[in-house]
Structure 1
């Protein structure tokens, strides 16, 4: 990697601009919960991108908060490699860093205390189940994470990007969640969205999983279910991440960060199962990115080892 800070920063910002255009895909084709607990097929889920004008600030902030968020060494500055847009999603990361951290949580609408507690408990599954050294706690004030249950489907901004959202706007949307929503949906949806808030992108874009998808069948399916044209399907489904990424694990179709894709679009007729809860691979990765206790005794070598967009008036922009 270049030692020139200016060159590094310029490359990071260009990658960030490209990445943000392609990291907001609908991730639950089966739809979101409506207010009465029934499935609403018109509600989708996505990683919400920041407005274009904030990409540069967000990239700088991500590097400042956690230097590991800089592009990986496999990106050779000065060369002109061909990098598919979706492959860039892990070159600019939005992780919070290895220091133990607690993110405060508030709710945009009046929400019963039992429902608030239930939602926060599922956000904390990454701490309680995966052993990650980052947690969520409700606050009576304005939270780092601000949850709405209004229209808009399921979404979260990615990791450190939530710092740029005006305090009167949500950073996570859980359309229609109530106490009558099935526990299985709490695990599948809220834990997935919490993963995005922790900076975890989508598992289903790993090349080994993308290679199972028949493009012709995918075009037909997503046109019918999402209204996507071929270009959108290419960008959101068929352009794989590179094999070498910060994930450092084998592709896992049972990851909570992978969503279900039906057998009707795969070559072998077998579905990509998608994760219903945090699994062992998720837990191991979360504990690596967010260790509960920093291993200060390690030597230096070991230690260093949407289719839609929301905007607001620039006067509301948050200075980070």
Structure 2
């Protein structure tokens, strides 16, 4: 599997639209700043290289998270399922001086009375869509503004739906973008039906240009390295069979796929200490003898 490389100027946010009807999907659209116009020749990839979190192979990656609002039920569900990315990042090797997981989300309290408690990811629960900035793009957002939104985490939602949206949005926060526009996807879309579907199910209705940008255009193979297309990825959204020419479809994925789990290890590699190597450090970053 090759690391996906993507060069993109400025910042992007992935937004998911909440649809309640059985025939209406919860969708994600890619939004960019006003001075960046999307085009089919603009390089894209399943992982935004410039938005990946800076990291060293020798140290864990710690990302701070705080909630700007929400019930204990909502907060607990986010903590519970975000942890699955943490577990997927584990190398499988126990290190004497280091945490076993490469990626660690540290949830910190929100205090409206101080300017402290600075967090990388700020979560807001609200009615409507779910969304997240991609990777470190969240660092460009003022501290009093959210960088991740959840629109359908509540006691009335199924556990599968909650798990799916938390994993998906935290995937974006780690640098992932959508899988259905993978250069190797080659989905046999029935374009006229797709145009009509998104015109009728989205509010406001999607134009043909929006459908082209968010559904049909695939990542550039000339400017992007990429892994195998993975219809089971948590970053892949459902495709109903009536939107394709040959009945091809994909379900809602609510778990990290084997490719998701192996790919996160490749993107954020972690091996701080091996016997007979000089790469060992204590918790303060001081070189130590490996044993």
TM-score, normalising length: structure 1: 0.66
> Is structure 2 residue 180 aligned with structure 1 residue 171?
no
Equivalent in the alignment of 2:240: 262
> Is structure 2 residue 81 aligned with structure 1 residue 122?
yes
Instruction: State the Cα distance separating 1:125 from its structure 2 match.
Output: 0.9
> Is structure 2 residue 12 aligned with structure 1 residue 16?
no
Alpha-carbon distance in 1 for matches of 2:186, 2:213: 12
Equivalent in the alignment of 1:67: none
Which of 37, 51, 62 is the aligned partner of 1:102?
Answer: 62
Q: How does 1:192-203 map to 2 (within 5 A)?
A: 192-203=168-179
> Is structure 2 residue 116 aligned with structure 1 residue 138?
no
| Contact 1:150/1:174, CA 8 A, preserved across alignment | yes
Structure 2: stretches of 5+ with no match in the other structure:
1-6, 91-100, 110-116, 278-291
Alpha-carbon distance in 1 for matches of 2:34, 2:142: 15
Structure with the higher helix share, 1 or 2 = 1
Note closer, same or farther for the CA distance 1:160–1:239 as it changes in structure 2 (3 Å cut). Answer: same
Alignment partner of 1:147: what SS?
Answer: strand
Instruction: State the Cα distance separating 1:148 from its structure 2 match.
Output: 0.8
Equivalent in the alignment of 2:227: 249
Alpha-carbon distance in 1 for matches of 2:229, 2:77: 30
Instruction: State the Cα distance separating 1:16 from its structure 2 match.
Output: 1.6
Alpha-carbon distance in 2 for matches of 1:178, 1:40: 21
> Is structure 2 residue 257 aligned with structure 1 residue 279?
yes
Note closer, same or farther for the CA distance 1:32–1:190 as it changes in structure 2 (3 Å cut). Answer: farther
Alignment partner of 2:66: what SS?
Answer: strand
Alpha-carbon distance in 1 for matches of 2:209, 2:28: 19
Instruction: State the Cα distance separating 1:208 from its structure 2 match.
Output: 3.4
Instruction: State the Cα distance separating 1:85 from its structure 2 match.
Output: 4.6
| Contact 1:108/1:147, CA 8 A, preserved across alignment | yes
| Contact 1:130/1:286, CA 8 A, preserved across alignment | yes
Which of 40, 46, 56 is the aligned partner of 1:84?
Answer: 40
Aligned length: 247
Alpha-carbon distance in 1 for matches of 2:28, 2:119: 22
Instruction: State the Cα distance separating 1:185 from its structure 2 match.
Output: 1.5
Instruction: State the Cα distance separating 1:275 from its structure 2 match.
Output: 2.4
Alpha-carbon distance in 1 for matches of 2:167, 2:269: 18
Structure 1: stretches of 5+ with no match in the other structure:
1-11, 56-82, 300-320
Alpha-carbon distance in 2 for matches of 1:43, 1:206: 19
Alpha-carbon distance in 2 for matches of 1:238, 1:295: 45
Pairwise CA RMSD: 3.4
Cα shift readout 1:31-69 (whole Å, capped 9, x = no counterpart): 368xxxx989697544554x447x8xxxxxxxxxxxxxx
Equivalent in the alignment of 1:181: 157
Instruction: State the Cα distance separating 1:122 from its structure 2 match.
Output: 1.1
TM-score, normalising length: structure 2: 0.72
Note closer, same or farther for the CA distance 1:146–1:251 as it changes in structure 2 (3 Å cut). Answer: same
Alpha-carbon distance in 1 for matches of 2:62, 2:43: 30
Instruction: State the Cα distance separating 1:270 from its structure 2 match.
Output: 2.2
Alpha-carbon distance in 2 for matches of 1:139, 1:86: 37
Alpha-carbon distance in 2 for matches of 1:40, 1:103: 37
Equivalent in the alignment of 1:61: none
Alpha-carbon distance in 2 for matches of 1:285, 1:178: 30
Alpha-carbon distance in 1 for matches of 2:253, 2:164: 7
Which of 67, 71, 77 is the aligned partner of 1:111?
Answer: 71
Equivalent in the alignment of 1:318: none
Equivalent in the alignment of 2:112: none
